[in-house]
A and B are shown apart, each in its own frame.
Chain A
């Protein structure tokens, strides 16, 4: 479990995060939902230590991360995997080398054979067993995200962070990536935090959803509760999509309409 307590961050007097307190639960997909420019990426960067929050603390399973000793921070960092918005693959390395990289750097005690097994396992897990020799420039956006996931989980991460994992992907590929992250989270009991502004992801994989608006947390709950939330900003955000409006209408007219929709998408995707 990751606990975030009263995190504040300003840039040149412009307060981007106005005291955010929330928790990311273990073994669940925790979604950070919110419009563009609400500070989701800044919050994530504070959580993983790419930025220092001005005030506030972040605790990983009981060990404090903010302002702690370098060794302790380093130890926590080694358990963090991150999928970046643009995948951030090292473009001078092949898919295989990208996945192997964290193992080479972080676990020097692993032999070459052990590394190869682990890389092959991870690439297979994300469905890329035949793409190991390709360069990042040669593969599609969806494949890049998969490599990003493989690289993140290669060192057996305990915490997985994804910044807009389905930005720039078509709906079907988005769904596949969402499902992959969801499956991996549950398979390995990872604490996963996903930034998104996509209602499809919410309905698909939102085990725990945190709604951010202008640097503040306005709501949190699960995907069953979100459609009936009474926060005006959240309602406006959710029902900006006519698809969701329609779903909500069906839901209101016939009891359990929405769950019927979610269930059918789930069973469809599980079948494919």
Chain B
């Protein structure tokens, strides 16, 4: 475990020493951004809209007291999704989608000697293959999280009004109650940290794959498992530190 962590740090270091030209790296980052960001919009949209909807319905089911105003439902949906559900659930979804594709892609490149081919050409393969993936993830995760925030609030709105649990006006009133802008900042900080963890852990798992196709599968699974655990740990640590 400690040995792995040391190797992980060395891996991160090897990536930023003796890098390729910036132009090349930027181009690679854009390519990876499309794969990590654009290609994940659909799954993130579906998941976050439903989470918003379910949160709204369940809160209204639990709020039976006539003393509590209905607008509280809107307020709670906002607080829950912005602070926790949008950044964390989105990142966990992305750990599955992006993490497995990073680890699988790099693992395949490793066992088919494509990584060796880069090294023979004198290219720093860690910098060429991994750095753009990490940067792309750090750029794309926050954008996806913002999308998830908006869509889950919209999902809550639709679910609340269509089931008749709450009126549009009450929901919007709730959304506007006691808004703390720092919560958005906090969620975005979380998303950047999660982006780094998911992309770096998955890259590490994939980059050091040895063996054959079976090990590539194992590397993907390991990448997703470890990323999710890391996300949850970091979620707790960040909440304790920054809230």
Chain A residues proximal to chain B, CB less than 8 Å = 45, 48-50, 70, 74, 77-78, 80, 82, 84-86, 88-91, 102, 104-106, 108
Interface string of B16-49 (1 = CB under 8 A from A): 0010110010000000000000000000000000
Question: Considering the chains assembled together, what is the distance between the CA atoms of A84 and B119 in angstroms?
Answer: 12
Segment among B61-69, B110-118, B136-144, B167-175 that sits at the interface with chain A:
B110-118
The reply to whether A82 and B114 contact each other, CB–CB distance below 8 Å, is: no
Chain B residues proximal to chain A, CB less than 8 Å = 18, 20-21, 24, 108-109, 112-114, 116-117, 119-123
A88/B122 contact (C-beta < 8 A), A70-B18, A105-B20, A108-B21 known:
no
A-B contact pairs, 7 of them (CB 8 A): A48-B120, A74-B122, A77-B121, A82-B120, A89-B114, A90-B114, A91-B114
The reply to whether A88 and B123 contact each other, CB–CB distance below 8 Å, is: no
The reply to whether A88 and B20 contact each other, CB–CB distance below 8 Å, is: no
Give every chain B residue within 8 A of A74 (Cβ-Cβ): 122
| Closest Cβ–Cβ distance, residue B118 to chain A (whole Å) | 9
The reply to whether A78 and B117 contact each other, CB–CB distance below 8 Å, is: no
CB-nearest residue of chain B to A163 = B113
5 A-B pairs with least C-beta separation: A77-B122, A88-B113, A88-B117, A84-B113, A82-B120
The reply to whether B114 and A105 contact each other, CB–CB distance below 8 Å, is: no
The reply to whether B113 and A86 contact each other, CB–CB distance below 8 Å, is: yes
The reply to whether A106 and B121 contact each other, CB–CB distance below 8 Å, is: yes
| Closest Cβ–Cβ distance, residue B223 to chain A (whole Å) | 19
The reply to whether B114 and A88 contact each other, CB–CB distance below 8 Å, is: yes
15 extra A-B contacts, CB within 8 A, seeds A78-B121, A78-B122: A49-B119, A70-B18, A74-B122, A82-B117, A84-B116, A84-B117, A85-B113, A86-B113, A88-B116, A88-B117, A89-B114, A91-B108, A104-B24, A105-B20, A105-B24
| Closest Cβ–Cβ distance, residue A68 to chain B (whole Å) | 13
Question: Considering the chains assembled together, what is the distance between the CA atoms of A86 and B20 in angstroms?
Answer: 26
Question: Considering the chains assembled together, what is the distance between the CA atoms of A105 and B27 in angstroms?
Answer: 12
CB-nearest residue of chain B to A151 = B117
| Closest Cβ–Cβ distance, residue B180 to chain A (whole Å) | 44
Most chain A beta carbons < 10 A, residue from B20, B108, B109, B120: B120
The reply to whether B120 and A80 contact each other, CB–CB distance below 8 Å, is: yes
CB-nearest residue of chain A to B18 = A70
Question: Considering the chains assembled together, what is the distance between the CA atoms of A85 and B114 in angstroms?
Answer: 11
| Closest Cβ–Cβ distance, residue B131 to chain A (whole Å) | 15
The reply to whether B112 and A88 contact each other, CB–CB distance below 8 Å, is: yes
The reply to whether A50 and B119 contact each other, CB–CB distance below 8 Å, is: yes
CB-nearest residue of chain A to B114 = A88
Question: Considering the chains assembled together, what is the distance between the CA atoms of A48 and B119 in angstroms?
Answer: 9
| Closest Cβ–Cβ distance, residue A102 to chain B (whole Å) | 5
Give every chain A residue within 8 A of B114 (Cβ-Cβ): 88-91
The reply to whether B20 and A50 contact each other, CB–CB distance below 8 Å, is: no
Question: Considering the chains assembled together, what is the distance between the CA atoms of A108 and B21 in angstroms?
Answer: 10
Question: Considering the chains assembled together, what is the distance between the CA atoms of A204 and B172 in angstroms?
Answer: 82
Question: Considering the chains assembled together, what is the distance between the CA atoms of A82 and B114 in angstroms?
Answer: 11
CB-nearest residue of chain B to A45 = B116
Give every chain A residue within 8 A of B116 (Cβ-Cβ): 45, 50, 84, 88
CB-nearest residue of chain A to B115 = A88
The reply to whether A86 and B21 contact each other, CB–CB distance below 8 Å, is: no
Question: Considering the chains assembled together, what is the distance between the CA atoms of A86 and B109 in angstroms?
Answer: 11
CB-nearest residue of chain B to A79 = B122
Question: Considering the chains assembled together, what is the distance between the CA atoms of A86 and B111 in angstroms?
Answer: 10
Give every chain B residue within 8 A of A84 (Cβ-Cβ): 113, 116-117
The reply to whether A105 and B117 contact each other, CB–CB distance below 8 Å, is: no
| Closest Cβ–Cβ distance, residue B33 to chain A (whole Å) | 15
Question: Considering the chains assembled together, what is the distance between the CA atoms of A85 and B116 in angstroms?
Answer: 11
Question: Considering the chains assembled together, what is the distance between the CA atoms of A74 and B105 in angstroms?
Answer: 27
| Closest Cβ–Cβ distance, residue A254 to chain B (whole Å) | 45
Question: Considering the chains assembled together, what is the distance between the CA atoms of A80 and B121 in angstroms?
Answer: 7
Give every chain B residue within 8 A of A78 (Cβ-Cβ): 121-122
Give every chain A residue within 8 A of B108 (Cβ-Cβ): 91
CB-nearest residue of chain B to A73 = B122
| Closest Cβ–Cβ distance, residue B111 to chain A (whole Å) | 9
The reply to whether A50 and B120 contact each other, CB–CB distance below 8 Å, is: yes
Give every chain B residue within 8 A of A108 (Cβ-Cβ): 21
